Structure 1
Amino acid sequence: MTRRLMLSYLALTLLVLAVLEIPLGYLYARGEESRFSQSVERDASMLAEAAEENIEKGDLEALPELAREYADDTGARVVVVDRDGRLLTDSAGTTAGGTDLSGQPDIAAALRNQANVATRTDTSSGDDVLAATMPGSSGTTIRGALRVTYPMTMVTDREHRIWATLALAGACILAAVALLAFSLARWITRPLRALERATAQLAGGHLANPPDATSGPPELRSLAASFTRTATRLQHLLEAQHGFAAEASHQLKTPLTSLRLRLENFEPHLDARAHAALDETIGEVERLARMVHGLLALARLENTATTPEPTDLDAVLAERATTWESLAAEQHVTLTVTGTPSGAVWAIPGALEQIIDNLLANALRVSPPGTTITLHRAPGSDLHVVDQGPGMSPADRERAFDRFWRASDSHHDGTGLGLPIVRHLVDASGGAITLNAAPGGGLDAHVRLRPVGRERRLGATAAPGRDQRRAAHRAHRAAQAVGRE
């Protein structure tokens, strides 16, 4: 913005200078040409009178000296002819004496007692010259004519000097304006730069350096003060939400666990006819516990600002497939991995594992025995999790990512938070997820991730080994906590 403000100031100054200096230079050039023409005409008239007097007295020998002195003083060329147009003297010495010049238009006009001042091209040198041709007359008696020629460079050089002076003055003014504009632009944009830094800090989750509200234009000082108040309020709200997510887990899980234990302790003391209702009640308590767990997990995700990092999709996929294979075998479901290796993709730390776990938990919950769940790697770092279950209607696929939404024909006890968590993780990693109908029935969860450049790709090595029992236990908990809603 500083550069744009400077450019606007300089453009305005340049426009003003152009409007002022160009007409001024043009007027000066025209005036200089007019003064030069009048000066040459005056000198030519005076010389013509002196030459006419010498011709009248018959003192022709004085004419060369008169012409040479004037030419030496001014750099002009002086030509004198008699009344018949024959050359009497030429200060340049390029034309022989006695040469008939009466055929030249300006000489012929002067011999008719007509003065002539005009710019023309010199036939000998090819340069533009200003020629003033005056008759040497006394009354109506013409005794000769005199022509004075000056090179136009004498006036054009002065015009060039004035244009150079105007250009130098304009450059000095532009330099002064640039210095002033830079100082002014920096003063104006200083609060904006502070706001930009503060906004970046706030986007990172913590405003360490609030913008200075005591410098800059009044409007920007007011904006900085309002931003600081808003940012402070947002930080308090975020800290309160983060504190709730951190503390509510323990505060909510403990009463729910206690309630479930108390309900289970009622079983020996209840009539056999009430056992079915007790089982349903315990099931609802368990579903409430899973819902609380999902809400807290989603809150923690939303409160965490994490930058995507290169993650080896093939290694994570192989690890998660190994972990879920035993759980799928218990339900007589086959788990396969297909497609060519994809390499590294951008994902926030730990997101890829959670995405695959949630999608596999959804697919495994609805897959009938004897079917197959396919983890397919498509070109472009795309991942497809395809099941052979009942699938979803187009309307249900549109609403599947809404929180707490469950299909009307759902026969399981999901919480409606699994797919929202998956979408949040995919979006935070810079990717996208869609649900499509799988060929032959079932659902195709399509995850599009950003591939890492070839120079950043990781080797297709296996991830570090983990305790398989702990991994299976975590996968089993994930299968119970989230579902396809």
Structure 2
Amino acid sequence: MRARLMGVLAIVSLVLLAALLLPFLAAVSDAQTQRLQLTRSAALDRFAGLADRSAAENDYSSVRIEADRHEELYGEAVLVTDASGKVVVSTGDLSMASPGVGTVADLAARELPQLTIDPLRPWSSARTLIATPVGSPHEPEGAVVLAVDSSRAIGDVRRLWLIICAAAIAAALLLLFMASRTARWVIRPVRQLEDAVVELGRSATWNQPLEASGPPELRRLARAVEVMGATVQRSIDVQRQMVADSSHQLRNPLASIRLRIDGLAPELRDPASPAFAHLQDDLERLEDVLSDLLKLAALESRVTDGRAAFAAEECLVGAVLTEELEIWRPAALAAGIDLVLRVSDGLVAAAGEHDLRQLIGALLDNAIKYAGSGATVVLAAARLGDGSIEVRVADDGPGLPAEQLELATQRFWRGGVTPLGTGLGLAIAEQTALAAGGRLELVPTEPHGLTAVITLPEATS
């Protein structure tokens, strides 16, 4: 954004500078041209007057003397013709055979003076011919041609142009510097807002006030975002604290109920009694829910507080997957499910071993519960090309409809009609993946089934 703003400001500044510079350069050239033209036109008129008097006396010696003096002072040749077109005075290398001399002399002799000097530019020619008639329109006496040496005037133009261009470059650099400062003044608070909002979205943490800088509109926006971030942070803290406190507060009465049930008289806690069996099942289920809630609250606290120190930990993916597979194999055999392991060699993830074990265990538990008897669960791991490791837990069970894949990681969501589980397993798995520095995604298995895809950063050492 800063580059785009700098580009716009630079283009506008340079266009305005060019709009001022070009007319100024033209004005300097025109002024030098007019000055040269006035002085040389006056000299030409003086030669024409002398030639007119000399023609009446038939003696051009005075004209020749003045022409020689003019050439000595200014280095400019003079040519004078009489009424018949004959050259009577010529200095330097100027003659009727010189390029352009015959034409301007003939035009001037016919009362068409050539007095205009083209605007001088640094690249203009250093020699220009001007001419004026001698005598009156009724009695023409010839013409005077002056070869104007404009090299000195062109040098002045070149010097003034260099000064003006140097000043323009300095002004352009100053404008670019001011544009850079302006862009920084505007973009800096925007970048701070962006970083703060990105951090809030990533970790739900708002831990520092925003600096009040930039235009008034951005300062007001920064204050509004600061209030919003603090409000979101308080809401998250209250929610997390409420879950943790509620779970802890409920554990004590549940433990008390468990002790009271275990302390009942033998005739009152008959295992064959359906009512007692239901009471035991409900109590165990409630204990599982509370345990999962506490685990979920702890994981969310790690993620939101930024305390997931996964970057400093490493683990061998193949070893963890092999051990977890052996741990869950008895449960899979009891459910009629076949477990298959496919792991590439040498995979080292930049994640904690405990986190990876918890994550794989939660996903295997979910697959064994819902894949169904006769299904196959494949646990695979491979290295991706972007410096990350992908771990897949895929089953060929009934799977989930596409519209339910995003809902599966929500708390207490269960897709089936069976009352298995607490509805927190995949939510815990997702938060575990985040705490381990990775991410979890649920995708369908072809032709049917569910695949949990874990992406973890690969260790660089």
Q: Same fold (TM over 0.5)?
A: yes
Q: 1:89 to 1:159 in 2, by over 3 A?
A: same
Alignment of 1:37 with 2:37, yes or no, is yes
TM-score w.r.t. the length of structure 2 is: 0.78
Please tell me whether the aligned partners of residues 136 and 144 of structure 1 are also in contact (alpha carbons under 8 angstroms): yes
Q: What is the match of residue 121 of structure 2?
A: none
> Hey, what's the Cα distance between the residues in 1 that align with 2:6 and 2:413?
55
> Hey, what's the Cα distance between the residues in 2 that align with 1:130 and 1:19?
30
Amino acid aligned to 1:250: H
SS in 1 for 2:357: helix
Alignment of 1:433 with 2:431, yes or no, is no
Q: What is the match of residue 89 of structure 1?
A: 89
Q: What is the match of residue 406 of structure 1?
A: 414
Structure 1 stretch 308-317 or stretch 200-209: which is displaced more? 200-209
Please tell me whether the aligned partners of residues 87 and 99 of structure 1 are also in contact (alpha carbons under 8 angstroms): no
Shift of 1:418: 0.8
Q: 1:329 to 1:243 in 2, by over 3 A?
A: same
Q: What is the match of residue 324 of structure 1?
A: 328
Amino acid aligned to 2:41: E
Q: What is the match of residue 343 of structure 1?
A: 347
Amino acid aligned to 1:88: V
Q: What is the match of residue 252 of structure 1?
A: 250
Structure 2: stretches of 5+ with no match in the other structure = 119-123
Structure 1: stretches of 5+ with no match in the other structure = 121-125, 459-485
Alignment of 1:211 with 2:185, yes or no, is no
Q: What is the match of residue 445 of structure 1?
A: 451
Q: 1:288 to 1:180 in 2, by over 3 A?
A: same
How big is the alpha-carbon RMSD for the aligned residues of Structure 1 and Structure 2?
4.0
Q: 1:158 to 1:350 in 2, by over 3 A?
A: farther
> Hey, what's the Cα distance between the residues in 2 that align with 1:100 and 1:2?
62
The within-5 A match list for 1:309-320 is 309=311, 312-320=316-324
Shift of 1:32: 4.0
Q: 1:325 to 1:143 in 2, by over 3 A?
A: same
Q: What is the match of residue 129 of structure 1?
A: 127
Shift of 1:64: 3.2
Q: 1:20 to 1:438 in 2, by over 3 A?
A: closer
Q: What is the match of residue 463 of structure 1?
A: none
> Hey, what's the Cα distance between the residues in 2 that align with 1:27 and 1:7?
30
Q: 1:190 to 1:311 in 2, by over 3 A?
A: same
> Hey, what's the Cα distance between the residues in 1 that align with 2:396 and 2:98?
117
Please tell me whether the aligned partners of residues 86 and 100 of structure 1 are also in contact (alpha carbons under 8 angstroms): no
> Hey, what's the Cα distance between the residues in 2 that align with 1:140 and 1:158?
41
Shift of 1:447: 0.8
Percent identity for Structure 1 against Structure 2: 27
Please tell me whether the aligned partners of residues 367 and 377 of structure 2 are also in contact (alpha carbons under 8 angstroms): yes
Amino acid aligned to 1:423: E
Shift of 1:145: 2.3
Q: Deviations over 1:365-424 (max 9, x none)?
A: 3567786543233563443324465655666656433432224442x5311111222234
> Hey, what's the Cα distance between the residues in 1 that align with 2:286 and 2:293?
10
Q: What is the match of residue 224 of structure 2?
A: 226
> Hey, what's the Cα distance between the residues in 2 that align with 1:272 and 1:52?
149
Please tell me whether the aligned partners of residues 384 and 444 of structure 1 are also in contact (alpha carbons under 8 angstroms): no
> Hey, what's the Cα distance between the residues in 2 that align with 1:201 and 1:302?
15
SS in 2 for 1:304: helix
> Hey, what's the Cα distance between the residues in 2 that align with 1:10 and 1:387?
59
Q: 1:272 to 1:100 in 2, by over 3 A?
A: closer
> Hey, what's the Cα distance between the residues in 2 that align with 1:346 and 1:302?
20
TM-score w.r.t. the length of structure 1 is: 0.75
SS in 2 for 1:266: coil
